Amino acid sequence: MSNPPVLKDAALELSGRVAVLTLNRDDVRNALTGTALVDDICAALEWANASPEISVLILTGAGAAFSAGGNIKTMRERAITSSAAEMEHYYRFGIQRIPRAMHAAEIALIAAVNGPAIGAGCDLANMCDIRIGSTRAQFGETFINLGIMAGDGGAWFLQRAVGAHRAAELTLTGRVVNAEEARDVGILLEVTEPDRLLPRAREIAAQIAAKPPLAVRYAKRTLRLAQHQGLGEHLESCASFQGTLQKTEDHLEALAAFFEKRSGQFKGK
C-alpha cells in the first residue's frame, strides 16, 4: 500500500480495510470552501481508490457540524470581486472536483453525519453510498436561500437519494430537515445517538470489508453504471464483471468457506 496522503484540514485513520476521513475544521463548521478540505477529500479518495487494501472509506466531521458547505464570508467576497467567467472556472476546478472524485470511487463510501450538513455539506453526504446520522444531524439544500443553486451537482445526487418529487420540494424551499425526517425521506439509512454514530459506521464498514475485496469494487462499479445504462448495456457489463470475478482466488475461497461453514479468508486476488 502506498503511504497515505499528507492532509492539511482533515485527518485520515486506517484500521484493516477501513479508512476514516474526518473533516477537521470545526472553527468554520467544516466548510468546504475557504479551507483545504476540497484538496484533502480528493487526495484521500485518490489514495483509497488506488489502494487495493482499502474497501471502505467513512467520511465524518469533527466538532459540531458535518459540514456547513460553502463559507458564506468568502462567497460574498467572490461575488463582489470575481467575474462570471472567473466564478465558472472556480466551480469547475474547485468544489466540482469532489463530486467527480466521489462518483469515480470504487470503494464503498459511508457518511457518518455527526451534525448539520448544509448546502454543499448536504450534497457531500448524498454523494456517499450509505448515510447514517446522529440525532444531531440536519440536512438542508439551502442554496436558494442565498439566491444561488447547487453548483456541485447537488440536484443530481439529491434526486437519487429521495426521488424527484421530494428533491424538488427540498431544493425549492431551502428548508432544513432533522435527522428523523431525513431518515423518513431516504437521506439517512439509520439514526443513532451521537456516541454510537462512528461505532455504528464502523460496524457497517466491517461487514463490507469482510467481503471479497474485488467483488466489493465490482459491485460498487455496477451500482454506479446502473444509474445511466440501459438494461442491455448493463447486462453486458455484468457478464464481463462476473466472468472476471469467477476466475479469482477469492471466489473459490468463498465457495470453500460456504461448504465448510466458516468465514472466508480473502486476499483480493
pLDDT of res. 78: 76
- For residue 209, which of 266, 258, 125 has the smallest C-alpha distance? 266
Write down the architecture of domain 213-260 according to CATH.
Orthogonal Bundle (1.10)
pLDDT of res. 84: 86
**Contact in structure between 34 and 28 (CB atoms under 8 Å):** yes
Distance CA 164, CA 185 (A): 12
Give the residue-averaged pLDDT of 186-193: 98
DSSP letter string, 185-203 = HTS-SEEE-GGGHHHHHHH
**Res. 56 pLDDT band, cuts 50 70 90:** very high
Convert the pLDDT of each residue in 94-133 to its tens digit.
899 999 999 999 999 999 999 999 999 999 999 999 999 9
Distance CA 131, CA 113 (A): 7
Write down the architecture of domain 10-209 according to CATH.
Alpha-Beta Complex (3.90)
User: What residues does each domain of the chain span?
Assistant: 10-209, 213-260
